[in-house]
Amino acid sequence: MRRGVTLLELTLVLAIIGLLVGIAIPRFQRVADSLAVHQAALEIVSAHRRARMSAILQNRELELTILEDTLAIRVPGAPTDLWHAVGPDGQGVTLTGPTYGLIFSPVGLTSGVSNATYRLSRGAATRTIIVSRLGRLRVTP
């Protein structure tokens, strides 16, 4: 009796593995897209909370800028950032929304045009972040 596998058996096993991989990859891609969008939304929410708390603790106005490639906190008009991080584009997530900065007062409220809606998307996964003038955030799927 011979040991080993025949070419037919090997071809059959490879065909089954290819079929299973072809079924699994799109599902994994949807999960990866959803996780990337969720992470990007959490980073924007964290940046918003950081800017608000920093304005309160430092007792001065601070500006939060949310762009596709950058999240930044700075004193309005200052050339350098107090804090910055990579924006949603770093994870392959597309951001649509206003490009103006949110100005936080020393009491934690935003001033000026501060109502904003940001939409994050990657593949079929989307999230919407709604920022109210009073500093409340709502993340919707």
pLDDT confidence of 1, banded at 50, 70, 90? low
110 and 91 in contact (C-beta within 8 Å)?
no
pLDDT at 111: 80
Q: Give the C-alpha separation, 96 to 90, whole Å.
A: 15
Domain ranges of the chain: 7-140
Name the 3-class secondary structure at 28.
Answer: helix
Q: Which residue blocks in the chain are alpha helix, DSSP H?
A: 7-58
Task: Specify the higher pLDDT residue, 93 or 141.
Answer: 93
Residue given tokens 């939304």 in the structure block:
41
- Of all helices (H) and strands (E), which one includes residue 71? strand 70-74
Lowest mean pLDDT across 29-38, 53-62, 106-115? 106-115
pLDDT confidence of 69, banded at 50, 70, 90? very high
102 and 64 in contact (C-beta within 8 Å)?
yes
How confident is the prediction for the chain on average, in pLDDT?
91
Q: What is the pLDDT of residues 88-122, one digit of tens each?
A: 999 999 999 988 889 999 998 888 777 889 999 99
pLDDT at 74: 95
The domain made up of 7-140 is a member of CATH 1.10.8.60: no
Q: What is the pLDDT of residues 6-24, one digit of tens each?
A: 899 899 999 999 988 888 8
* Whether the model pTM is above 0.75: yes
pLDDT confidence of 141, banded at 50, 70, 90? confident
